[in-house]
Amino acid sequence: MRSFTYEKAHSPAAAASAAVRTSNAKFIAGGTNLLDLMKLEIETPSHLIDVNGLGFDKIEPTPEGGLRIGALVRNTALAADERVRRDYGLLSRALLAGASGQLRNKATTAGNLLQRTRCPYFYDTNQPCNKRSPGSGCAAIGGITRQHAVIGASDACIATHPSDMAIAMRALDATVQTARPDGTTRNIPIADLHRLPGNTPHLETTLGAGELITSVTLPKPLGGTHVYRKVRDRASYAFALVSVGAIVQRDGTGRVAVGGIAHKPWRVEAAEAEMPRGAKAVAARLLDGAKPTRDNSFKLALVERTLAAVLTEAKG
């Protein structure tokens, strides 16, 4: 770990401008991802801006009938919130499927969205990795890729985004509110927050330099049955091989987002039109253009089968 300087931010604007004032600065929230990466010198910020004191720890109703979730609301608090459990069960379930109790107590809403990949080569600084060190190559391609992406990947990177929470956020069409160093704020639809790797896998989101997430807003409840199914090798405390988040209405229409298969939460709105026709039809559209590796081609069948189970469960 490199030595770094530290400050506690007192307002969102001050945090955002501090982040561009010092070169190579980073925000720190729960620190459950960032600190691990700093110890391995995968992240090497020279300055940390602690955003924990900014008061973004509330969950409030919006005039539109939705919920505004402060960027620093802990995963545990969010999953346990009565309104979330009642109206956005998918989110609560996805959160509880992630990490462990201890980690969720620390992990924040914004930090969770911005957590980095679990590609094992990304974690080993001896190995080439375009995401960690742009232009160095990708050690995963041709290597051990059971966990990796099957769709939307590139010749530069085949990593996945590991968040469970983000799958629910994507299915719920959340929006992300930010504060920028120039004092302006903006709304980013969750679909636009994460990028596909392309030739620049080190650029994972569309946030600008120093742009701070202040909250995440859920639109008004959609009703329907909410199911989150995470498939993994052990019963708990493992990242998803594949996860399926679905909201299914009584008439069989609904929404589906899939985790564990791409560089971002994977949702194809056109595929949802197939929902009344069943999992096979949805999966075919959802995975159109998939390019799995030999190690992870099982994920295609797994998505379809899991989705089928989810739809059956939703029917009750």
Partner 1 sequence: MKFDTPATTNPIDQLKIIGHATSRIDGPLKTTGKATYAYEWHDVGSRPAYGYIVGSAIAKGRIASIDLSRAKAAPGVMAIVTAENAGKLGKGNYNTAKLLGGPEIDHYHQAVAVVVAETFEQARAAAQLVQVSYSAAKGSFDLAAGRDGAAKPPGRGDNQPDTNVGDFPGAFAAAPVQLDATYTTPDQAHAMMEPHASMAAWDGDKLTLWTSNQMIAWTTGDVAKTLGLPKENVRLISPFIGGGFGGKLFLRSDAVLAALGARAANRPVKVAMQRPLMFNNTTHRPATIQRIRIGANRDGKITAIGHESWSGNLPEGRPETAVQQTRLLYAGENRMTALRLAMLDLPEGNAMRAPGEAPGMMALEIAMDEMAERLNLDPVEFRARNDTQVDPEHPGRPFSRRQLVACMKTGAERFGWSARNAEPGKRREGRWLVGMGMAAAFRNNLLMKSGARVRLDRSGTVTVETDMTDIGTGSYTIIAQTAAEMMGLPLEKVVVRLGDSSFPVSAGSGGQFGANNSTSGVYAACVKLREAVAQKLGFNSADVAFSDGQVSSGNRSVPLGQAASDSELIAEDSIEYGDLAKTHQQSTFGAHFVELGVDVATAEIRVRRMLAVCAAGRVLNPKTARSQVIGAMTMGVGAALMEELAVDKRTGFFVNHDLAGYEVPVHADIPHQDTIFLDETDPMSSPMKAKGIGELGLCGVAAALANAIYNATGIRVRDYPITLDKLLHRMPDA
Ligand X SMILES: Cc1cc2nc3c(=O)[nH]c(=O)nc-3n(C[C@H](O)[C@H](O)[C@H](O)COP(=O)(O)OP(=O)(O)OC[C@H]3O[C@@H](n4cnc5c(N)ncnc54)[C@H](O)[C@@H]3O)c2cc1C
Interacting positions 242-301 with ligand X (CB under 6 A): none
Question: Is residue 228 a contact point for partner 1 (CB under 8 A)?
Answer: no
C-alpha span between 285 and 304 (Å, rounded): 11
**Out of 15, 158, 282, 302, the residue judged to bind ligand SF4 by CB under 6 A:** 158
By beta-carbon proximity to partner 1, the closer residue of 58 and 277 is 277
**Residue 214 contacts residue 228 (beta carbons within 8 Å):** no
- In which order are the strands placed within the sheet that holds 5-8? 5-8, 47-50, 25-28
**Out of 112, 130, 178, 225, the residue judged to bind ligand SF4 by CB under 6 A:** 130
Question: Is residue 151 a contact point for ligand SF4 (CB under 6 A)?
Answer: no
Question: Is residue 140 a contact point for ligand SF4 (CB under 6 A)?
Answer: yes
Q: What single-letter DSSP state applies at residue 72?
A: T
Per rule CB under 6 A, count of chain residues that contact ligand X: 30
Q: What are phi and psi of 138, to 5 degrees?
A: -125, 110
C-alpha span between 279 and 312 (Å, rounded): 10
**Residue 247 contacts residue 225 (beta carbons within 8 Å):** yes
Using only C-alpha atoms, the chain has a radius of gyration, in whole angstroms, of: 19
Which residue of this chain has its Cβ atom nearest to ligand X in the complex? 111
By beta-carbon proximity to partner 1, the closer residue of 19 and 241 is 241
Find the helix or strand (DSSP H, E) in which 285 lies.
helix 279-286
**Closest Cα partner for 151 from 166, 143, 161?**
161
Question: Is residue 242 a contact point for ligand SF4 (CB under 6 A)?
Answer: no
**Out of 121, 122, 228, 266, the residue judged to bind partner 1 by CB under 8 A:** 121
CB under 5 to 8 A by kind: which of ligand SF4, partner 1, ligand X, none does 16 bind?
A: none
Would you state the structure tokens that stand for residue 104, as one six-digit string? 């969720």
277 Cβ contact partners less than 8 Å away, ≥ 6 residues apart: none
CB under 5 to 8 A by kind: which of ligand SF4, partner 1, ligand X, none does 202 bind?
A: none
Q: What are phi and psi of 121, to 5 degrees?
A: -75, -30
Q: Write the DSSP assignment of 289-301 as a string of letters.
A: T----TTTTHHHH
Residue ranges in 136-252 assigned as alpha helix (H): 165-171, 190-193
Strand, helix or coil for residue 54: helix
Interacting positions 161-220 with ligand SF4 (CB under 6 A): 201
Least Cβ distance, residue 237 to partner 1 (angstroms): 5
CB under 5 to 8 A by kind: which of partner 1, ligand X, ligand SF4, none does 118 bind?
A: partner 1
Positions in the binding site for ligand SF4 (CB under 6 A):
117, 119, 121-122, 129-131, 138-140, 157-159, 201
Positions in the binding site for partner 1 (CB under 8 A):
1-3, 39-41, 118, 120-121, 123-127, 139, 142-144, 146, 229, 231-239, 241, 298, 301-302, 305-306, 308-309, 312
Positions in the binding site for ligand X (CB under 6 A):
26-34, 36, 51, 71, 98-99, 103, 106-108, 110-112, 114-115, 162-165, 212-213, 239
